[in-house]
Amino acid sequence: MDGNTQLIGAAGVHFVAARMNALGLHAAATIRNVPGVDLLVSSMDGKKSVAIQVKTSAWASRTRREVISECQWACTYVERESESLFYAFVDLKEFNELPDIYLLPSRDVARWYRDAPSRWGIKREEWKWPRFHVEPSFIENYRNNFKPIRKALGLT
């Protein structure tokens, strides 16, 4: 897979939008480089909407001794929390198989970032390259789980 990060990012945004549309939701990509929001997703009647920030990796899984030990996405330090803001972490898996989308409420991502430096015994200002790298057990329940988005939109 080509290493162009802008193209990988665009692939992730469009993949998430396609999945949302296939689920009967209206998803529209924002204008490129809008800070903090890549997709606006609404119910078909437009009564409720959510914002989604998409972070994409060509291959997020990191293995040790042939076992997935963590998943990683480049992502600056996250502090914003809102009931209507979600993060979609996309693992394209280099399109060797169907990509996965991990949909997390912003409060869960912000909490992870607040706690992460202390887990590693460093101060936030010493964290030179903040990135979202989590254990599979932390993120598994979010994998391809669109229920929180549907709930936020008032759908069952």
pLDDT digits (tens, 9 = 90+) for 8-45: 999 999 999 999 999 999 999 998 767 789 999 999 99
58 and 68 in contact (C-beta within 8 Å)? no
- Dihedrals phi, psi of 27, to nearest 5 degrees: -120, 130
26 and 41 in contact (C-beta within 8 Å)? yes
Q: How high does pLDDT run on average in the chain?
A: 91
- For 146, the 3-state DSSP assignment is coil
In the chain, where the domains are located: 5-152
Query: Is 0.75 topped by the overall pTM?
Result: yes
d(CA 68, CA 44): 38
Q: How many other C-beta atoms are found inside a 10 Å radius of the C-beta of residue 156?
A: 5
pLDDT digits (tens, 9 = 90+) for 117-155: 888 888 888 888 888 989 889 999 999 999 999 999 999
Reported CATH class of domain 5-152: alpha beta
55 and 132 in contact (C-beta within 8 Å)? yes
Instruction: Specify the pLDDT at position 3.
Output: 66
d(CA 38, CA 63): 29
